[in-house]
Amino acid sequence: MRAIYHLTKTETMNIIAIIEELGKTDPEVYERLDERRNAFKRFTRVGGKIAATALPFALGGFFKKAYAAPPATNKVLEVLNYALSLEHLEYQFYLVAASKTTLFPSTAAAGAFATIRDHEKAHVDFLSQAIRSLGGTPVTANAKGYDFTGGQGSNSGPFATVFTNYATMLAVAQTFEDTGVRAYKGRAKELVEGGDLLTAALNIHSVEARHASHIRQMRRAAGHSADVKPWITGNSSNIASTAVQNSYNGEDNVTQGGVNITTLPGASGNISVTAATEAFDEGLTPAQVTNIVTPFIIP
Amino acid sequence: MIKPESTVDSTEQGEPSQASSVSRRKFLRYAGLSGGLVAAAAACSKSKNDNGFNSGAYMGSGDIGILNYAYALEQLEAAFYTQVALTPYSGITALETALLTDIRDHEIAHREFFKKALGNSALPSLEVNFSSVTFGSRDSVLATAKTFEDLGVSAYNGAGRLIVNSDYLELAGKIVSVEARHAAYIRDLISNGSFADSSVVDASGLDKSRKPIEVLTMAKPFIKTALNASDLPSY
């Protein structure tokens, strides 16, 4: 059954009157609406087939898009450049690490690093392109380079053997991947209702988590850490050095959305603290991330 | 019926913005309102039937709908790994037992969290159908696990843009990376090094995202309970 509904001339005029009223207090109303032309395109397309009862809802959604979401372009650019600066760090790390062919115990291990290197490069390119397409300027890799020993330019930081010792190299890789996951997560909120850009950020975020999982498996397989799992347990780094503990602090949270997970029923008894912490990864703030990566950046 | 532009342009900047009137015209043209009428014809019954999930347990609309959608997937995963732990496949190693049990516990945590968070709006417990899975076979179990984990990742990635409340978006983000960790582990159990191969990660280094209806269609063979997703947000 098809219900046909035509807006009367009066109704159309009322809609226009509303927009004109908005224009009195917000001279940019038309730009706002025009910026959201895709939303409006959808509205008019649906407009041909919309149920009469749904019309006020559709209009409400339309105005909401014009005034509430999506996030402002400069906010999006800031988040994207933040992500890009981390991707530069990761890519530059894997660029060197993957070239240390004699360190790897197997071709599979070397292959994994090459795969991850290529993904990080793809992320750098993708984010740079996205930033340009929004009219922004993508940040470049740090001009003075990076110190992957974590020595802030001294090249004798806590991971002095980063490119000469396989265990150290994997430990740094794990830290970067887990930090990357947490960094994206920490800012996803700011892209709420961000459409394609939010989806892209989420699509990168989960790839970083896949990397983290694999690096952790490599560490266990190589016998560097008997306890390390593909996921993060409590706030443990499973890395002997305390230098990267900041990458794991806060991961021991067991309360999500006001619900203490350990009060919920598990397979037998309540869900354990271990499972509660492993089942949810936690976000990091920009200040926390800056604190974590500063030792790896040459000032 | 359209008022003179001056009413819009009476700003104090002294620049009765030409831009404003241009964009106004553009906007009206865009809106299809300049002709005076918006013709609206409804195909109400059609749009609800199209997705194949129009009767059964009601998932809800808006963010509640998305949370129920996640709850349905977590129920499926939790039920699957519960069975895996009860009837381990032949040749399972101690490490595999330990980590697959971990995954079971994570999925139960996700399931119970959504159930608690949704309260009265929560879907009922779903009846699952694992008749296509041979639980004694490592290949069968891991292939199914891979399907579920990759599907879960793509489901959360695709649903993120539909979430309006940023706190829920953050929660979805906290879960999806754990699902991605699972997915990579399961993939590596099947074939070491396939944690992020080109079947899931594209040339731009992006994971997959799927629309709710695509995900529900792929999950449908494993879920006996009929679902009503007619008001579920989509894009």
pLDDT per residue rounded down to tens, chain A (299 residues): 344 445 555 555 566 666 666 666 666 655 555 544 444 444 444 333 334 444 444 454 445 455 555 788 999 999 999 999 999 999 999 999 999 999 999 999 999 999 999 999 999 999 999 999 999 999 999 999 999 999 999 999 999 999 999 999 999 999 999 999 999 999 999 999 999 999 999 999 999 999 999 999 999 999 999 999 999 999 999 999 999 999 999 999 999 999 999 999 999 999 999 999 999 999 999 999 999 999 999 99
Query: B172 with B160: CB under 8 angstroms?
Result: yes
Which of A6, A217, A275 has its CB closest to that of B39? Answer: A6
- CA angle at residue A165 from A162 to A169, to 5 degrees? 45
**Residue linked to tokens 């609406």:** A33
The amino acid at A169 = M
Burial of A64 (0-12, 13-18, 19+ CB in 10 A): middle
Which residues in A lie closer than 8 A to residue B20 (C-beta atoms)? Answer: 23, 27-28, 30-31
Tokens representing residue B113 in the block: 């969290």
* Residue of A79, A123, A210 best to disrupt the B interface, most CBs of B under 10 A: A210
DSSP state of B57: E
* Residue of B21, B207, B209, B210 best to disrupt the A interface, most CBs of A under 10 A: B207
Which residues in A lie closer than 8 A to residue B180 (C-beta atoms)? Answer: 206-207, 209-210, 213
What local confidence, expressed as pLDDT, does residue B154 receive?
A: 98
Inter-chain CB proximity A12 and B175 less than 8 Å: no
Q: What is the ipTM of this complex?
A: 0.81
- CA angle at residue A207 from A203 to A211, to 5 degrees? 170
A234 Ramachandran zone, left/alpha/beta (phi>0; psi -120 to 50): left
Report the chain A residue with the minimal C-alpha distance to residue B188. A214
Which residues in B lie closer than 8 A to residue A115 (C-beta atoms)? Answer: 193, 196-197
The amino acid at A232 = I
Distance between CA A80 and CA A191 in Å, rounded?
A: 10
Burial of A96 (0-12, 13-18, 19+ CB in 10 A): middle
Q: Within 13 Å of residue A265, how many CA atoms lie on the same side as its CB?
A: 5
Inter-chain CB proximity B176 and A261 less than 8 Å: no
Inter-chain CB proximity B180 and A33 less than 8 Å: no
Inter-chain CB proximity B109 and A257 less than 8 Å: no
Chain A nearest CA to B64, separation (Å): 14
Inter-chain CB proximity A230 and B182 less than 8 Å: yes
Low-confidence ranges of chain B (pLDDT < 70): 1-50
Which residues in B lie closer than 8 A to residue A276 (C-beta atoms)? Answer: 109
Inter-chain CB proximity A125 and B33 less than 8 Å: no
What local confidence, expressed as pLDDT, does residue A15 receive?
A: 60
Distance between CA A13 and CA B35 in Å, rounded?
A: 11
Distance between CA B44 and CA A246 in Å, rounded?
A: 54
The domains located in chain B, with CATH, are 63-119+130-226 (1.20.1260)
What local confidence, expressed as pLDDT, does residue B52 receive?
A: 83
Chain A nearest CA to B131, separation (Å): 22
Which residues in B lie closer than 8 A to residue A23 (C-beta atoms)? Answer: 7-8, 20, 24
DSSP state of A146: B
Which residues in A lie closer than 8 A to residue B8 (C-beta atoms)? Answer: 20, 23-24, 27, 30
Inter-chain CB proximity B8 and A24 less than 8 Å: yes
What local confidence, expressed as pLDDT, does residue A8 receive?
A: 56
Chain A nearest CA to B166, separation (Å): 5
What φ, ψ does residue B123 adopt, rounded to 5°? -60, 160
Query: B219 with B77: CB under 8 angstroms?
Result: no
CA distances from A141 to A83, A120, A128, B190 (A): 12, 13, 11, 37
What local confidence, expressed as pLDDT, does residue A37 receive?
A: 45
What local confidence, expressed as pLDDT, does residue A240 receive?
A: 93
Strand partners, B41: A4
Query: B20 with B9: CB under 8 angstroms?
Result: yes
Name the residue among A228, A227, A277, A273 with its Cα closest to residue A250.
A277
What local confidence, expressed as pLDDT, does residue A255 receive?
A: 98
Chain B nearest CA to A155, separation (Å): 30
Rg of chain A's alpha carbons, rounded to an integer? 25
Report the chain B residue with the minimal C-alpha distance to residue A207. B207
Whether residue A70 has a cis bond before it, omega within 30° of 0:
yes
Distance between CA A284 and CA A232 in Å, rounded?
A: 14
pTM: 0.81
What φ, ψ does residue B41 adopt, rounded to 5°? -120, 130
Inter-chain CB proximity B42 and A51 less than 8 Å: yes
Distance between CA A218 and CA A166 in Å, rounded?
A: 10
